[in-house]
Amino acid sequence: MQWFKDVVNFLSQPQYYILLSMAGLLGLVYTRVAWNKAGLLAGTLALTLFFSLSALDPNFHIIISKADNIPIIIMVYLVWLALWGALSQGVANDDRMAMGLPSDEAQEGGKKVWCWPDLVYIELLSMLLVGALLVVWSVVLKAPLEEPANPVLAPNPSKAPWYFLGLQEMLVYFDPWLAGVVFPSLIILGLMAVPYIDPNPLGNGYYTFRQRRFAVTWFLFGFVVLWCVLIFLGTFLRGPNWNFFGPYEVWDIHKLEALVNVNLSEYFWIRLLGQPLPSFWLVRELPGFVAVGAYFSVAGWVLSRTYLRPMHRQMSRLRFAILMLLFLAMMALPIKMVLRWLFNLKYLIAIPEYFFNI
Amino acid sequence: MARSQTLHEYNIPRLNGWFAALSVLMVVCVIGMVVDDYNRDWKRYQRDYYRLERERLQKAEAQELEKIGPQQLDAARQAVTQAQAELQGHQDRLAAAQARLHQTSGDWYVRDQSSRFLKAAYDVVKYEFGAAQERHDADAAMKLRSKIEGMEDELSRRRLASEAAAARRDSVSAQLADITRQHDDAAAKLDELTKSVRTMEKRLLKIAPTFSNRLLNFAMLDFIAPSIRIQQVLPPNLTYTVNFGVTARIDRCQTCHLAIDKAGWEDAPQPFRTHPKLDLFVGSNSKHSLADFGCTECHGGRPNGLDFNRTAHTPNDEEEAARWRKQYGWKPMHYWEWPMFAAHNYESGCLKCHQGTRHIGGAPQYDRGRDLVERSGCYGCHKIAGYEGLPKIGPSLLQVARKLTPAFAYRWINDPKLVRAHSKMPRVFNLENVVGEYRGDADYWSKRSAAEVNGIVAYLFDKSARGAYAMPAGQRGNAARGKELFESIGCRACHMIGPEQDAKQDWAVTPRERGPNLEAVATKTSPEWIFNWIRDPRQYDSKTAMPNLRLTEQEALDVTAYLTTLRGSDDTPYRRSAPDSAMVEAVIMDYLTNTQPVAVAREQLTKLAAHQRAVLLGEKIIARQGCFGCHEIAGFEKTLPIGTELTEEGSKPVARLAFNNVRLEPSLEAWLTHKMLHPRNFDEGMHMLPGEKARMPEFGFSEPQAQAIVGNILAWSKNTVPLDRTKRVDSRGELIAKGERLIAFRNCRGCHVIEGEGGAIYDVIPEPAMRPPNLANEGAKVQPDWLVEFLHGPFPIRPWVQVRMPTFGFTPEEAGTAANYFMALAKKNDDPYPLPALQSFPHAKDGAQFFAIYKCQQCHPAKVTAASAADRSQLAPNLAMASKRLRPDWVVAWLTDPQTQMPGTNMPTFFYADGEYFFPEAPQHIEALRDYLMTFSSQVASSSSQRGSAKGK
The answer to whether the Cβ–Cβ distance between A131 and B4 falls below 8 Å is: no
Q: List chain A residues with CB under 8 Å of B24.
A: none
Q: In angstroms, rounded to a whole number, what is the distance separating the alpha carbons of residues B231 and A99? A: 77
B36: nearest CB among A121, A139, A152: A139
The ipTM estimated for the assembled molecules is 0.75
Torsion-angle region of B568 (φ positive above 0: left; ψ -120 to 50: alpha; else: beta): left
Q: pLDDT, tens digit, for every residue of A224-247?
A: 999 999 999 999 999 998 888 999
Distance from CA of B16 to the nearest CA of A (A): 9
Distance from CA of B256 to the nearest CA of A (A): 21
DSSP 8-state class, residue A271 = I
Q: List chain B residues with CB under 8 Å of A149.
A: 243
Q: Which of A161-175, A301-315, B862-876 has the lowest mean pLDDT?
A: B862-876
Per-residue pLDDT for B505 more than 90? no
Categorize the per-residue pLDDT at B838 as very low, low, confident or very high, splitting at 50, 70 and 90: low
B243: nearest CB among A118, A132, A148: A148
Those residues with Cβ within 8 angstroms of residue A197's Cβ, 6 or more apart along the chain or in another chain: A315, A319, A322, A323, A326
The answer to whether the Cβ–Cβ distance between B243 and A150 falls below 8 Å is: yes
Residues of A with CB under 8 A from a CB of B: 112-114, 117-118, 121-122, 124-125, 128-129, 131-132, 135-136, 138-139, 146-153
Per-residue pLDDT for B950 more than 50? no
A129: nearest CB among B12, B22, B30: B22
For the CA atoms of A255, A259, A260, A261, what is the dihedral angle to 10 degrees?
Answer: 130
Per-residue pLDDT for B952 more than 50? no
b or e along B571-592 (b: 16 or more beta carbons within 10 Å of the residue's beta carbon)?
eeebebeebbeebbbebbebbb
Looking at chain B, how many residues does it have? 953
The answer to whether the Cβ–Cβ distance between B12 and A117 falls below 8 Å is: yes
Those residues with Cβ within 8 angstroms of residue A16's Cβ, 6 or more apart along the chain or in another chain: A10
Q: List chain B residues with CB under 8 Å of A146.
A: 335
What residue type is B870 in one-letter code? A
Q: Contact, B896 vs B911, CB < 8 A?
A: yes
Q: pLDDT, tens digit, for every residue of B230-249?
A: 999 999 889 888 777 788 89
What residue type is B481 in one-letter code? R
The answer to whether the Cβ–Cβ distance between B8 and A136 falls below 8 Å is: no
DSSP assignment of B86-105 equals HHHHTHHHHHHHHHHHHHHH
Highest mean pLDDT among A155-159, B164-168, B305-309: B164-168
Those residues with Cβ within 8 angstroms of residue B708's Cβ, 6 or more apart along the chain or in another chain: B365, B366, B368, B369, B372, B507
Mean pLDDT of A13-31: 90
Q: Contact, B241 vs B247, CB < 8 A?
A: yes
Chain A residue at shortest CA distance from B242: A150
A122: nearest CB among B10, B29, B336: B10
A113: nearest CB among B9, B302, B336: B9
Q: pLDDT, tens digit, for every residue of A41-64?
A: 999 999 999 999 999 999 999 998
What residue type is B449 in one-letter code? S
Categorize the per-residue pLDDT at B397 as very low, low, confident or very high, splitting at 50, 70 and 90: very high
DSSP assignment of B781-799 equals HB-HHHHHHHHHS---SST
A148: nearest CB among B8, B25, B242: B242
Q: In angstroms, rounded to a whole number, what is the distance separating the alpha carbons of residues B282 and B289? A: 4
Q: In angstroms, rounded to a whole number, what is the distance separating the alpha carbons of residues A180 and A174? A: 9
Give the model's pLDDT for residue B507.
58
Greater confidence (B863 vs B762) lies with B762
Q: List chain B residues with CB under 8 Å of A124.
A: 19
Q: Which of B561-575, B626-640, B834-848 has the lowest mean pLDDT?
A: B834-848
Q: Assign 3-class secondary structure to B430-493.
A: CCHHHCCCECCECCHHHHHHHHHHHHHHHHHHHHCCCCCCCCCCCCCCCHHHHHHHHHHCCHHH
Give the model's pLDDT for residue B683.
93
Element (H, E) at B747: none
Give the model's pLDDT for residue B241.
81
Q: In angstroms, rounded to a whole number, what is the distance separating the alpha carbons of residues B534 and B228? A: 73
Looking at the DSSP bridge assignments, the partners of residue B239 are B248
Q: List chain B residues with CB under 8 Å of A152.
A: 653
Q: Contact, B599 vs B590, CB < 8 A?
A: no
Give the model's pLDDT for residue B395.
93
Q: In angstroms, rounded to a whole number, what is the distance separating the alpha carbons of residues B38 and B50? A: 18
Per-residue pLDDT for B454 more than 60? yes
Q: In angstroms, rounded to a whole number, what is the distance separating the alpha carbons of residues A294 and A300? A: 9
Give the model's pLDDT for residue B42.
94
The answer to whether the Cβ–Cβ distance between B7 and A148 falls below 8 Å is: no
Per-residue pLDDT for B484 more than 60? yes
Mean pLDDT of B376-386: 92
Q: For testing the chain B interface, which of A133, A134, A140, A153 should be mutated: the one with the most B CBs within 10 Å?
A: A153
Per-residue pLDDT for A323 more than 70? yes
A132: nearest CB among B29, B244, B337: B29
Distance from CA of B214 to the nearest CA of A (A): 25
Those residues with Cβ within 8 angstroms of residue B30's Cβ, 6 or more apart along the chain or in another chain: A135
Per-residue pLDDT for B386 more than 80? yes
The answer to whether the Cβ–Cβ distance between B9 and A135 falls below 8 Å is: no
Greater confidence (B871 vs B596) lies with B596
Q: Which of B401-415, B504-518, B738-752 has the lowest mean pLDDT?
A: B504-518
Per-residue pLDDT for B7 more than 70? no
Q: Contact, B297 vs B238, CB < 8 A?
A: yes
Q: Which of B230, B217, B270 is nearest to B48 (CA)?
A: B270
Greater confidence (B790 vs B860) lies with B790
Q: Which of A140-149, A166-175, B328-337 has the lowest mean pLDDT?
A: A140-149
A132: nearest CB among B9, B19, B26: B26
CA atoms within 13 A of residue B552's CA, in its CB half-sphere: 10
Q: List chain B residues with CB under 8 Å of A150.
A: 242-243, 337
Q: What is the CA radius of gyration of chain A?
A: 24
A125: nearest CB among B19, B242, B245: B19
Distance from CA of A136 to the nearest CA of B (A): 6
The answer to whether the Cβ–Cβ distance between B653 and A153 falls below 8 Å is: yes
Within 10 Å of residue A208's Cβ, how many Cβ atoms? 21
Q: List chain B residues with CB under 8 Å of A122.
A: 10, 15
The answer to whether the Cβ–Cβ distance between B8 and A149 falls below 8 Å is: no
Q: For testing the chain A interface, which of B12, B19, B309 should be mutated: the one with the most A CBs within 10 Å?
A: B19
Q: Contact, A239 vs A251, CB < 8 A?
A: yes
Chain A residue at shortest CA distance from B656: A153
Q: Which of A73, A69, A85 is nearest to A35 (CA)?
A: A85
Helix (H, G, I), strand (E, B) or coil at B239: strand
Q: Which of B455-459, B470-474, B786-790 has the lowest mean pLDDT?
A: B470-474
Q: Tell me what the pLDDT averaged over chain B comes to.
A: 88
The answer to whether the Cβ–Cβ distance between A125 and B655 falls below 8 Å is: no
B22: nearest CB among A112, A117, A132: A132
Categorize the per-residue pLDDT at B862 as very low, low, confident or very high, splitting at 50, 70 and 90: confident
Q: Which of B717, B794, B900, B747 is nearest to B549 (CA)?
A: B794
Per-residue pLDDT for B850 more than 70? yes
Categorize the per-residue pLDDT at B138 as very low, low, confident or very high, splitting at 50, 70 and 90: very high
Residues of B with CB under 8 A from a CB of A: 4, 7-10, 12, 15, 18-19, 22-23, 25-26, 29-30, 32-33, 36, 242-245, 302, 335-337, 653, 655
Give the model's pLDDT for residue B946.
42
Give the model's pLDDT for residue A85.
94
Distance from CA of B26 to the nearest CA of A (A): 5
Q: Does the N-terminal peptide bond of residue A157 adopt cis geometry, omega within 30 degrees of 0?
A: yes
Q: Tell me what the pLDDT averaged over chain A comes to.
A: 89
The answer to whether the Cβ–Cβ distance between B243 and A138 falls below 8 Å is: no
Helix (H, G, I), strand (E, B) or coil at A278: coil
Chain B residue at shortest CA distance from A111: B7
Q: How many CB pairs under 8 A join A and B?
A: 67
Q: Which of B113-127, B262-276, B511-525 has the lowest mean pLDDT?
A: B511-525
Q: Which of B707, B65, B643 is nearest to B384 (CA)?
A: B643
Q: List chain A residues with CB under 8 Å of B32.
A: 135-136, 139
Categorize the per-residue pLDDT at B335 as very low, low, confident or very high, splitting at 50, 70 and 90: confident
Q: Which of B80-94, B184-198, B435-449, B937-951 has the lowest mean pLDDT?
A: B937-951
Q: Does the N-terminal peptide bond of residue B653 adopt cis geometry, omega within 30 degrees of 0?
A: no
Give the model's pLDDT for residue B332.
85
Q: pLDDT, tens digit, for every residue of A282-318?
A: 999 999 999 999 999 999 999 999 988 888 888 888 9
Q: pLDDT, tens digit, for every residue of A191-205?
A: 999 889 888 888 888
Categorize the per-residue pLDDT at A186 as very low, low, confident or very high, splitting at 50, 70 and 90: very high
Helix (H, G, I), strand (E, B) or coil at A324: helix
